[in-house]
Amino acid sequence: MMIRTSFFAALLILLCLNADAADNWQPLQQQAQAAYQGGDYAKAETLLQRAIARARRADNGAAFEAASLSLLAYVQMAQGQSDSALETQQRALVLNGRARGSDSVAQARLLLNLAGLAESAGQTDKAIDAYRQALAIYRQHPEQMAARLQGALGLSALLQQGQPEAAIEVARSALETSAESDFYNSFQENRRQLSYQLAQLYSARGAASEALAVLEQQRDRESHTLSEEDTRRAETLERMAQLIEEQLPQQDSVALRAEAQQIRERSGELSLAGVINLYVQAQSMLQGGEAKEDEIDKAEQLLQDALARLERLGDTGASETAQSQSARAAILGNLGVVSEIRKQRDEALDYFRQSLALMPGPEQDSKQDAAQASGNADLIQRGNTEGRIGALLYQQKAYSDAEPHFVQSLQLLRRANADTAALETVLNNLITLYDAWGKASEKSRYRKQLRALRDENRAG
């Protein structure tokens, strides 16, 4: 069972307060925590019951008992006793509130624990309420910014489905406050993750420019607080690049990819992200069909480098994931484009076929509904590859072999709601194919479809 780790910070704070007053309690608590982390829940529970008994005999014992109860709640949750765990955590909050105050930092930490437990138990409303109470306390303690960011991260994640605007406000407010305190002076992982989350929230509602601005601020922080080889800087740059590629095509992402790759090179890390950086740079050089010979050579070099790195990733024991398979398909497809430009048609056909074999099949894509398929990059990539294979086979006068690829290309691009230009290209290819093949009725059918598409486009 996945349990949030926020309770470790809470216990650490409670353990450091007046530990001398409960010397007999402290070893039991530490042994119980070790048993919990080792998965020996029965032993942990026994030790905690003894710790609770000793805490009750100590001065200021309520705070120590609250710490033991909080750990006991996680032990219970790990054993599937969610109702008992939530009840135990509530008891911890009551005791700690009496001992340290309902607006103390320790109370806020325990509220974060309650939120994590409630979330694990599927009680979203209870988790949201606990997060909000914790954040209300943290707003009174500006020195606890890291914990506030942690709470904002948890709350905005829960709100993003049903209340996206509220999720944005929670994340935005916490980030703005954190920027006022130590914008350039320290790095906070929670702030990085919350920035990523806020950018995703903006992106999901179509506010790509706002999303990019959030990531740009995070990039600026990291440039002042992280080393030149820290790959977290590369990840932020790559998120910016991906956002531009998906939602802001009028902007250029290549410089961001190149900078991210330089960071990864300095780190010495072999990663799929680095592979993607290379092939996106190569792809940009090949777009538009007007690449110069030196650009084609450079693109091929980048693609072969990306493919070699992908092979080395496999040699390290990393399993072929859907993302790495997609990357391999894209690299092979772009190598096909290089060969096509150089008039090496047999080689291009081989690359395109290898690429197509790695892509999700049409039967898998058809399970998506229209909303999911709209603008889907995988559908468009497969559709374009089918069309390129068809064109190469047509040039070889293998008309019967070319036909199914053109037809499949048209179907995929239509399902993806591809732009009019792409649809016109494949319709014209079908018309040209049937004209050369001497199939007048099929040629007439696709001419009608082409006219209808153009009429619809003019009317729209």
In tens, the pLDDT along 284-327 reads 999 877 789 999 999 999 999 999 999 998 877 666 688 899 99
Separation of alpha carbons 99 and 63, rounded Å: 6
Separation of alpha carbons 197 and 212, rounded Å: 12
User: pLDDT (tens digit, 9 = 90+) per residue, 83-133?
Assistant: 999 999 999 999 999 999 999 999 999 999 999 999 999 999 999 999 999
Please name the residues in contact with 382: beta carbons below 8 A apart, sequence gap of 6 or more.
Answer: 356, 359, 360, 362, 365, 412
pLDDT of residue 182: 61
pLDDT of residue 12: 38
Separation of alpha carbons 428 and 405, rounded Å: 14
- 335-338 long-range Cβ contacts below 8 angstroms, 24+ apart: 335/300, 335/303, 335/304, 335/307, 336/385, 336/388, 337/286, 337/388, 338/286, 338/296, 338/299, 338/300, 338/303
Running DSSP on this structure, what letter comes out for residue 361?
P
Under 8 Å between Cβ of 100 and 106 = yes
Burial grade of 65 (CB within 10 A; 0-12, 13-18, 19 or more): buried
Under 8 Å between Cβ of 353 and 405 = no
Dmax (CA) for the chain in angstroms is 98
Under 8 Å between Cβ of 429 and 417 = no
Question: CA torsion sign, 27 to 32 to 35 to 37?
Answer: negative
pLDDT of residue 3: 38
Other beta carbons less than 10 A from residue 144's beta carbon: 17
Count, residues in the chain: 460
pLDDT of residue 147: 92
Task: Give buried/exposed letters for 319-332 (b at 16+ CB in 10 A, else e).
Answer: eeeeebebbbbbbb
Separation of alpha carbons 366 and 455, rounded Å: 28
Task: Tell me which residue of 275, 187, 202, 177 sits closest to 233, measured CA to CA.
Answer: 187
**Which of the residues in the chain have pLDDT under 50?**
1-21, 183, 365-375
pLDDT of residue 382: 95
Direct distance between the N- and C-terminal alpha carbons of the chain, in angstroms, rounded to an integer: 52
Question: Token pair of 177, please?
Answer: 């406050």
pLDDT of residue 323: 87
Separation of alpha carbons 455 and 204, rounded Å: 33
Please name the residues in contact with 421: beta carbons below 8 A apart, sequence gap of 6 or more.
Answer: none
pLDDT of residue 267: 95
pTM (2 decimals)? 0.82
pLDDT of residue 19: 47
